[in-house]
């Protein structure tokens, strides 16, 4: 199975620090958090980047290693977000739902509504576009449904990117305005479709997660590139 990423995100934003919060881009949010740290501007500013391929109905053969068909039907399109104040724990849970879908049982609109529940309610930080870009269009979702495509995910480890940890060590107070954390998560996505077809691939992603003191964490968005 050729590399098939359910998410599709196109880089599309960059901006001056003074307009970061108004524009609510992931790169801008992280830049606002770490603005006082020299050398990270190029790393966290969201510039134009190649779009990742959207998921397509699986072909009859695949270059990926076969795996058992993924079963994702749980009665709800997307699992509810966990109640936690740990950004890494939350990011791992969020990654799992971003890599999990079932076109057989739920519509694209139902899936999108489920993901929406994971978002922060602070509009100046929420980058819903970076999350909704992870979901195929209604037309593509319908084609995937015709093919019975569905996916499950196994999440491995999560960590703060090294640049993020370095920045916090140099200026711990920089995060106290937005409380937005960058978290990189690795794992494996298993995809299955009609005719006993199946495949799996290792994946990684970097999310922006907001965890204010004494409040449950919420998703801010998906960074355009994986941060080591």
- What is the C-alpha separation between 20 and 13, in angstroms, rounded? 10
- What is the C-alpha separation between 21 and 178, in angstroms, rounded? 10
> How many CB atoms within 10 Å of residue 169?
9
Q: What are the tens digits of pLDDT across the range 15-61?
A: 444 444 443 344 444 544 443 332 333 333 333 333 333 343 333 33
Q: What are the tens digits of pLDDT across the range 70-104?
A: 334 457 899 999 999 999 999 999 999 999 999 99
Residue 138 burial (10 A CB sphere; 0-12, 13-18, 19+): exposed
Q: Identify which of 54, 48, 55, 56 has the alpha carbon closest to the alpha carbon of residue 10.
A: 48
The pLDDT-based confidence of 198 (bands split at 50, 70, 90) is confident
Please report which helix (H) or strand (E) contains residue 12, including its range: none
Helix ranges restricted to H, the chain: 20-23, 26-33, 41-44, 87-98, 108-116, 128-132, 138-146, 162-170
Tokens of 120: 């922060």
Q: What is the pTM of this model?
A: 0.71
Confidence check: pLDDT of 148 > 90? yes
* Range 123-138 average pLDDT: 94
pLDDT, residue 74, reads 53
């Amino acid at each position: 199975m050729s590399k098939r990423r359910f998410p599709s995100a196109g880089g599309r934003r960059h901006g001056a620090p003074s307009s970061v919060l108004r524009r609510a881009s992931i790169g801008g949010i992280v830049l606002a958090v770490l603005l006082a740290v020299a050398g990270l501007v190029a790393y966290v500013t969201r510039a134009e980047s190649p779009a990742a391929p959207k998921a397509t109905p699986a072909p009859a053969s695949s270059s990926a290693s076969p795996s058992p068909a993924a079963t994702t039907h749980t009665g709800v399109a997307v699992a509810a977000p966990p109640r936690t104040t740990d950004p890494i724990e939350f990011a791992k849970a969020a990654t799992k739902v971003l890599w999990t879908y079932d076109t057989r049982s739920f519509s694209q609109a139902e899936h999108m509504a489920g993901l929406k529940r994971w978002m922060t309610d602070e509009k100046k930080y929420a980058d819903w576009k970076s999350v909704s870009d992870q979901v195929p269009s209604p037309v593509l979702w319908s084609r995937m449904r015709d093919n019975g495509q569905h996916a499950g995910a196994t999440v491995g480890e999560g960590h703060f990117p090294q640049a993020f940890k370095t920045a916090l060590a140099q200026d711990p107070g920089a995060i106290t305005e937005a409380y937005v954390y960058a978290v990189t998560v690795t794992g494996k996505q298993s995809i299955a479709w009609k005719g006993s077809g199946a495949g799996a691939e290792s994946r990684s992603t970097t999310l922006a997660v907001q965890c204010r003191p004494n409040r449950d964490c919420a998703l801010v968005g998906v960074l355009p590139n994986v941060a080591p």
